[in-house]
Amino acid sequence: MKSDSDIKMDVEDELRWDPDIESTDIAVSVKNGVVTLAGFVPSYSQKFEAEKDVKRVAGVVGVANDLDVRVPSVDQRPDPEIARDAVNALKNDLPLSWQNIKVTVSDGWITLEGSAEWNYQRERAEEAVRFVKGAKGIMNMIEVKPKVTPSEIKRKIEEAFKRNAEVDADNIKVEATDGQVTLKGTVHSWFEREEAERAAWLAPGVKKVEDRITIRP
Protein backbone atom coordinates (compact mmCIF):
# COMPACT_ATOMS: atom_id res chain seq x y z
CA MET A 1 0.00 0.00 0.00
CA LYS A 2 1.46 3.38 -1.04
CA SER A 3 2.13 6.01 1.60
CA ASP A 4 0.67 9.50 1.38
CA SER A 5 4.13 10.91 0.70
CA ASP A 6 4.61 8.51 -2.23
CA ILE A 7 1.21 9.42 -3.65
CA LYS A 8 2.04 13.12 -3.30
CA MET A 9 5.27 12.68 -5.25
CA ASP A 10 3.52 10.69 -7.98
CA VAL A 11 0.73 13.28 -8.31
CA GLU A 12 3.24 16.12 -8.59
CA ASP A 13 5.19 14.18 -11.21
CA GLU A 14 1.97 13.47 -13.16
CA LEU A 15 0.99 17.14 -13.15
CA ARG A 16 4.44 18.21 -14.32
CA TRP A 17 4.34 15.53 -17.03
CA ASP A 18 1.13 16.94 -18.56
CA PRO A 19 2.07 19.55 -21.21
CA ASP A 20 -1.45 21.01 -21.09
CA ILE A 21 -1.13 22.15 -17.47
CA GLU A 22 0.85 24.97 -15.90
CA SER A 23 1.56 23.24 -12.58
CA THR A 24 3.84 25.92 -11.10
CA ASP A 25 1.08 27.39 -8.93
CA ILE A 26 -0.55 24.07 -7.92
CA ALA A 27 0.00 22.76 -4.38
CA VAL A 28 -0.64 19.08 -3.61
CA SER A 29 -1.47 17.57 -0.22
CA VAL A 30 -2.50 14.00 0.60
CA LYS A 31 -4.18 12.46 3.64
CA ASN A 32 -5.24 8.81 3.76
CA GLY A 33 -5.10 8.62 -0.03
CA VAL A 34 -7.31 11.67 -0.56
CA VAL A 35 -5.58 14.31 -2.69
CA THR A 36 -6.29 18.03 -2.31
CA LEU A 37 -5.28 20.44 -5.07
CA ALA A 38 -4.88 24.09 -4.06
CA GLY A 39 -3.57 27.18 -5.82
CA PHE A 40 -4.67 28.48 -9.20
CA VAL A 41 -4.62 27.80 -12.94
CA PRO A 42 -5.24 30.15 -15.90
CA SER A 43 -8.27 28.34 -17.36
CA TYR A 44 -11.16 26.09 -16.41
CA SER A 45 -9.97 23.41 -18.83
CA GLN A 46 -6.68 23.19 -16.91
CA LYS A 47 -8.54 22.77 -13.62
CA PHE A 48 -10.51 19.90 -15.16
CA GLU A 49 -7.38 18.35 -16.68
CA ALA A 50 -5.50 18.50 -13.37
CA GLU A 51 -8.25 16.52 -11.67
CA LYS A 52 -8.13 13.89 -14.43
CA ASP A 53 -4.37 13.57 -13.97
CA VAL A 54 -4.73 12.99 -10.23
CA LYS A 55 -7.33 10.25 -10.70
CA ARG A 56 -4.91 8.29 -12.89
CA VAL A 57 -2.36 7.96 -10.08
CA ALA A 58 -2.32 4.62 -8.28
CA GLY A 59 -3.28 4.81 -4.60
CA VAL A 60 -5.57 7.82 -4.94
CA VAL A 61 -8.99 7.16 -3.35
CA GLY A 62 -10.44 10.67 -3.56
CA VAL A 63 -9.82 14.15 -4.94
CA ALA A 64 -10.71 17.60 -3.58
CA ASN A 65 -10.18 20.08 -6.39
CA ASP A 66 -9.85 23.48 -4.71
CA LEU A 67 -8.01 25.13 -7.59
CA ASP A 68 -9.06 28.69 -8.45
CA VAL A 69 -9.31 29.78 -12.07
CA ARG A 70 -7.55 33.11 -12.60
CA VAL A 71 -8.01 34.09 -16.22
CA PRO A 72 -5.10 36.25 -17.46
CA SER A 73 -6.11 39.78 -18.44
CA VAL A 74 -5.32 39.05 -22.09
CA ASP A 75 -7.90 36.22 -22.06
CA GLN A 76 -10.64 37.96 -20.08
CA ARG A 77 -13.82 38.60 -22.08
CA PRO A 78 -17.31 40.08 -21.52
CA ASP A 79 -20.02 37.60 -20.53
CA PRO A 80 -22.02 38.11 -23.79
CA GLU A 81 -19.00 37.06 -25.87
CA ILE A 82 -18.48 33.95 -23.72
CA ALA A 83 -22.18 33.10 -24.04
CA ARG A 84 -22.08 33.52 -27.83
CA ASP A 85 -19.12 31.18 -28.18
CA ALA A 86 -20.71 28.66 -25.79
CA VAL A 87 -23.87 28.54 -27.90
CA ASN A 88 -21.82 28.10 -31.07
CA ALA A 89 -19.90 25.24 -29.43
CA LEU A 90 -23.19 23.53 -28.53
CA LYS A 91 -24.44 23.90 -32.10
CA ASN A 92 -21.29 22.25 -33.43
CA ASP A 93 -21.22 19.34 -30.97
CA LEU A 94 -24.97 18.73 -30.55
CA PRO A 95 -26.53 19.79 -33.88
CA LEU A 96 -29.76 17.84 -33.26
CA SER A 97 -30.44 18.77 -29.65
CA TRP A 98 -28.69 22.05 -28.82
CA GLN A 99 -32.03 23.89 -28.97
CA ASN A 100 -33.05 22.11 -25.74
CA ILE A 101 -30.18 23.71 -23.83
CA LYS A 102 -30.10 27.26 -22.46
CA VAL A 103 -26.80 29.05 -21.80
CA THR A 104 -26.33 31.85 -19.28
CA VAL A 105 -23.04 33.46 -18.24
CA SER A 106 -22.31 35.47 -15.11
CA ASP A 107 -18.82 36.73 -14.23
CA GLY A 108 -17.28 34.15 -16.55
CA TRP A 109 -19.26 31.21 -15.12
CA ILE A 110 -21.28 29.28 -17.71
CA THR A 111 -24.59 27.75 -16.60
CA LEU A 112 -26.25 25.09 -18.77
CA GLU A 113 -29.96 24.42 -18.29
CA GLY A 114 -32.59 22.45 -20.16
CA SER A 115 -33.14 18.75 -20.83
CA ALA A 116 -31.59 15.79 -22.63
CA GLU A 117 -32.83 12.28 -23.34
CA TRP A 118 -29.39 10.72 -22.85
CA ASN A 119 -26.73 11.52 -20.28
CA TYR A 120 -24.05 11.51 -22.98
CA GLN A 121 -25.79 14.60 -24.41
CA ARG A 122 -25.59 16.24 -20.98
CA GLU A 123 -21.88 15.43 -20.74
CA ARG A 124 -21.20 16.39 -24.36
CA ALA A 125 -22.75 19.80 -23.72
CA GLU A 126 -20.36 20.42 -20.82
CA GLU A 127 -17.40 19.18 -22.85
CA ALA A 128 -18.37 21.49 -25.71
CA VAL A 129 -18.15 24.66 -23.61
CA ARG A 130 -15.19 23.61 -21.44
CA PHE A 131 -12.64 25.25 -23.72
CA VAL A 132 -14.48 28.52 -24.36
CA LYS A 133 -11.94 31.29 -23.94
CA GLY A 134 -12.45 33.32 -20.77
CA ALA A 135 -14.65 30.75 -18.98
CA LYS A 136 -13.97 30.42 -15.25
CA GLY A 137 -16.24 27.46 -14.55
CA ILE A 138 -19.31 25.48 -15.57
CA MET A 139 -22.55 24.67 -13.76
CA ASN A 140 -24.28 21.81 -15.58
CA MET A 141 -27.96 21.84 -14.59
CA ILE A 142 -29.24 19.95 -17.64
CA GLU A 143 -31.86 17.34 -16.65
CA VAL A 144 -31.93 13.86 -18.17
CA LYS A 145 -35.49 12.81 -19.04
CA PRO A 146 -35.41 9.11 -19.98
CA LYS A 147 -37.81 6.98 -22.01
CA VAL A 148 -36.72 3.52 -20.83
CA THR A 149 -37.63 1.18 -17.92
CA PRO A 150 -35.41 0.59 -14.83
CA SER A 151 -34.96 -3.10 -15.75
CA GLU A 152 -33.69 -2.12 -19.19
CA ILE A 153 -31.27 0.38 -17.66
CA LYS A 154 -29.95 -2.28 -15.26
CA ARG A 155 -29.52 -4.83 -18.05
CA LYS A 156 -27.69 -2.44 -20.35
CA ILE A 157 -25.27 -1.36 -17.61
CA GLU A 158 -24.46 -4.95 -16.66
CA GLU A 159 -23.85 -5.78 -20.31
CA ALA A 160 -21.57 -2.74 -20.63
CA PHE A 161 -19.54 -3.87 -17.60
CA LYS A 162 -19.02 -7.33 -19.13
CA ARG A 163 -17.77 -5.78 -22.37
CA ASN A 164 -15.36 -3.41 -20.60
CA ALA A 165 -11.89 -4.87 -20.09
CA GLU A 166 -11.17 -2.25 -17.40
CA VAL A 167 -14.08 -3.32 -15.15
CA ASP A 168 -14.39 -6.52 -13.10
CA ALA A 169 -18.12 -7.03 -13.66
CA ASP A 170 -18.37 -9.94 -11.20
CA ASN A 171 -17.55 -7.67 -8.26
CA ILE A 172 -20.04 -4.88 -9.04
CA LYS A 173 -23.76 -4.95 -8.29
CA VAL A 174 -26.18 -2.67 -10.18
CA GLU A 175 -29.51 -1.38 -8.84
CA ALA A 176 -31.82 0.86 -10.90
CA THR A 177 -35.00 2.71 -9.92
CA ASP A 178 -36.69 5.44 -11.95
CA GLY A 179 -33.51 6.40 -13.78
CA GLN A 180 -31.41 6.40 -10.59
CA VAL A 181 -28.59 3.87 -10.54
CA THR A 182 -26.68 2.62 -7.50
CA LEU A 183 -23.35 0.82 -7.92
CA LYS A 184 -22.00 -1.40 -5.12
CA GLY A 185 -19.03 -3.71 -4.75
CA THR A 186 -15.24 -3.47 -4.80
CA VAL A 187 -12.57 -2.62 -7.39
CA HIS A 188 -8.78 -2.51 -7.52
CA SER A 189 -8.24 1.19 -8.27
CA TRP A 190 -9.79 4.65 -8.45
CA PHE A 191 -9.53 4.41 -12.24
CA GLU A 192 -11.62 1.22 -12.32
CA ARG A 193 -14.21 2.86 -10.05
CA GLU A 194 -14.37 5.88 -12.38
CA GLU A 195 -14.63 3.61 -15.42
CA ALA A 196 -17.57 1.71 -13.88
CA GLU A 197 -19.36 4.98 -13.11
CA ARG A 198 -18.66 6.29 -16.60
CA ALA A 199 -20.08 3.12 -18.16
CA ALA A 200 -23.21 3.42 -16.02
CA TRP A 201 -23.75 7.03 -17.09
CA LEU A 202 -23.59 6.01 -20.75
CA ALA A 203 -26.68 3.81 -20.46
CA PRO A 204 -29.88 5.32 -21.92
CA GLY A 205 -32.25 6.83 -19.39
CA VAL A 206 -29.78 7.27 -16.51
CA LYS A 207 -30.52 10.45 -14.55
CA LYS A 208 -28.29 9.89 -11.54
CA VAL A 209 -25.52 7.49 -10.48
CA GLU A 210 -24.75 6.86 -6.82
CA ASP A 211 -21.33 5.26 -6.72
CA ARG A 212 -20.87 3.20 -3.54
CA ILE A 213 -18.03 1.12 -4.96
CA THR A 214 -15.08 0.83 -2.60
CA ILE A 215 -11.42 0.49 -3.53
CA ARG A 216 -9.54 -2.53 -2.21
CA PRO A 217 -6.17 -1.57 -0.67
Distance CA 53, CA 142 (A): 26
HEC string for 174-210: EEEECCEEEEEEEECCHHHHHHHHHHHHCCCCCCEEE
Check residue 170 and give its pLDDT: 84
Q: What pLDDT score was predicted for residue 156?
A: 85
CA distances from 210 to 36, 119, 129, 173, 174 (A): 22, 14, 25, 12, 10
- 130 beta partners: none
pLDDT in the model for residue 217: 67
Q: Which residues of the chain have pLDDT under 50?
A: none
* pTM beyond 0.85: no
How far apart CA 204 and CA 76 sit, in angstroms, is 38
**In this predicted model, what pLDDT tens digit does every residue of 33-88 receive, in sequence order?**
999 999 999 999 999 999 999 999 999 999 999 999 999 988 899 999 999 999 99
Q: Which pLDDT value is given to residue 34?
A: 94
Q: Which domains does the chain have, with CATH numbers?
A: 4-69 (3.30.1340.30), 73-144 (3.30.1340.30), 150-215 (3.30.1340.30)
